[in-house]
Structures are given as structure tokens and as C-alpha cells.
Amino acid sequence: GSIDPKAAAPYACSGLTTYSALKKAGSAIQRSEILIIGAGGLGLMCVQLLQLMGGKGAIIVDIDAKKRQAAIEAGARAALDGNAADLRAQIQSTLGGGAQVVIDLVGSAATASLAVDSLAKGGKYILVGLFGGSIDIPLPIIPLRVLTIAGSFVGNLAELTELLELAKSKGLPSFPTTSCSLHEANDNLRQLSEGKIIGRAVMIP
């Protein structure tokens, strides 16, 4: 429709993926701040969509200082260093306890362990990232702490339609994008693999 294609492109990628994950969190996003692991293109979009959806707020974790700063600029209340020795204590202190919702946009063994450890009783862990690995969870803690573990993979056409209508009705937030032409694609992919892209790169024919 009337949305600039450069602005709309990330909504069909990181937008749909994080919108679908946030929907799986349900009304919990309005009741308490959530923990987001990863401040890449998905994480920055997740922070902004949370605001459009009436969420209470977000704390974000990332190992890259530039991405943590971008998360603050996107609207996160706090951005914590994923390499901090006392990270779990920082999360508890910043949230004032455990998280009701953790959205893991990395999906490694380390982030999954962090996510489960950071949940409050009755909390929900939503795994989106596909980095890989495995996690060893003592089974009794799941019923004893009444935890929910859910996977979320991209989204569907109905959710994309909802997302674009939400963006049109409430205004597109300022999302960091880097534009490039098709002949610059290899250079941009290299920067992406090196973790140098903040937000999303949009190739324009």
C-alpha cells in the first residue's frame, strides 16, 4: 500500500518473526517487562513492536556494545552485556525479580540456559533463534516452577497482514536500515556475517 518499500521490507522479515513471537506471549507483555536476548535486526524490531502492541517494556541482552546502544535508542529500558560475569544477577536486579516472558532471538545453549534461569515462576520461554546446540534441564523444575517452553518460527500471512495494519494505524517506528544496491550484496553479506550490520540491510534493485 502506501508504505515505502524500504520501510516495509524489514516488516516481512524481522517484523513478522518477532510479531508472531510477541503474540505467543499473550497479555503478559502488557503486565510486565519482558527479557529479550539478542539485539540484532530481530531484537531491535522486537523492542519497537512491543511498544506498538502496548507492551510494558523490555530489557535486552547482547554481547555487542553498539547493538546494546541501538537497543536503548529503539526504546529498551536497559541493555545488559551478555558477557558480564554477574549477568543473571543484573537481570534479576533490573527486572525486580524473574521475567514472566523471555524471547530468545539467538537460540544457543548459553542463551537457552540464561533464559530458563531468568524466568519467574509461571514464566514463558519463547525460542526463536536457530544458532543451535542443546540444553540440559532437570525435568522437575518445569512443573515445580510452572514453566512454559514454546518455539516460534517466522509467522504466517494473517499475522503479516495484522502487522502492516498495526504499523499503518500507529505509525512506523524508526528502524535502523542500511540500503544497498544488488551489486553491493556480497559486501553486505560479509558485513552481516561479521556482525557489523545494525538493524537490517535492504537491497534495492
Distance between CA atoms of 205 and 202, rounded to whole angstroms?
10
For residue 16, the model assigns a pLDDT of: 97
**Band of the pLDDT at 5, cuts 50, 70, 90?**
confident
Cell output for 49? 513492536
Nearest by Cα to 36 from 73, 77, 7, 65: 77
Cell output for 164? 502492516
Compute how many other C-beta atoms are within 10 angstroms of the C-beta atom of residue 76.
27
**29-64 residue pLDDT tens:** 999 999 999 999 999 999 999 999 999 999 999 999
Cell output for 26? 499473550
* Residue 4 pLDDT greater than 90, yes or no: no
For residue 7, the model assigns a pLDDT of: 84
**145-200 residue pLDDT tens:** 999 999 999 999 999 999 999 988 988 777 888 889 999 999 999 999 998 999 99
**74-131 residue pLDDT tens:** 999 999 999 999 999 999 999 999 999 999 999 999 999 999 999 999 999 999 999 9
Terminus-to-terminus CA distance in the chain, angstroms? 19
For residue 1, the model assigns a pLDDT of: 76
